[in-house]
Amino acid sequence: MDHGINTVPFVSVENMMRLVIELGMETALYELTEYIDEDFRRWPSFDKTPRVASHSTDGVIELMPTSDGIDYGFKYVNGHPKNMKDGLQTVTAFGLLADVNTGYPVLLTEMTILTALRTAATSALATKFLARKDSRTLALIGAGAQSEFQALALKTVCGIDRLRVFDIDPAASRKCIANLSQSGMEMKICSSGHEALEGADVVTTCTADKQYATILTDNMVGNGLHINAIGGDCPGKTELHKDILLRSEIFVEYPEQTRIEGEIQQLDAEHPVKELWEVITGRTTGRENDRQITLFDGVGFAVEDFSALRWLRDKLKTSSRYDLLDIIADPDDPRDLFGMIQREKLRMKNLD
């Protein structure tokens, strides 16, 4: 990636798709998981704060910033479940990576696709450390925009090779199965959540409705199950019955954010949870036995987006899948921004 200091690489949706296609979806998911793992292992080096959220009756708009003291990254992301009725995405995003020393941006990118990839990679990382080692069957509850990414990430990173899908919209389940037809997984569309969980080792819940919901009831969850609960991502939105939480060992990204937005908003603030980075680094225990229920209450955190931005910047070193944007003003004299405009005015006049 060779460009001047005053132009910024920009990865459009088209270029992101082509980059992932050229690399291979499963390779991209595997590499992203590795980058997130690396950054979770240096978790204390990051600035951390709950995301800055602006809530409305129809959804939420959020900013997710973090820095490791060398680079600064943020993501703009929305969540508007009603959009689907109008043919729009429920979640869209873009992000930026900047040099802390100068404050200059070094990368601007779409992050709707990239967020789907990093969310699936984070689920795979949690599953790798928390699920039973012999886990092979995944139940997907919710077959929306996240579903195929989730299934492929768990296949690639964790060896999952059987998939059971349930969505209240049968068309969504058919879409998911069709999209994964070349994945090599054994797949089945189920008529209920109960059926999907029969024989499952891992379940991922990823529904879109912004409400308190009970996607999983207590009687559906047997001993030894690992749960990735990734649909609860804002206040007032959950997917699991509270009794499941009380039976599970709970793992989170950043407790201060998850207690606001995750499944554990249903619990007392003092209810104990473990942080995923501490499991990855060996500071605390993960799964203790094969009968234990483990729950990853994943709401998405800025460090994961930082990892994704870092991965993308590295990919662009050997890829031309970007455009250059002129978004940094560069007067000959840094103190003379006004004069730069005057000189441009003169050039425009001469061209006329």
Q: Following DSSP, what letter does each residue of 259-313 receive, concatenated?
A: HHHSGGGGS-TT---EEHHHHHTTSS----STT--EEEE----HHHHHHHHHHHH
**68 exposure class (CB count in 10 Å sphere: 0-12, 13-18, 19+):** middle
Q: Which of 37, 233, 297, 305 is catalytic?
A: 233
CB burial of 180-204 (b: ≥16 within 10 Å; e: otherwise) equals beebebebbbbeebeebbeebbbbb
User: Tokens for 250?
Assistant: 């709970």
Cα separation of 277 and 260, whole Å? 19
332 is catalytic: no
Catalytic annotation, residues: 233
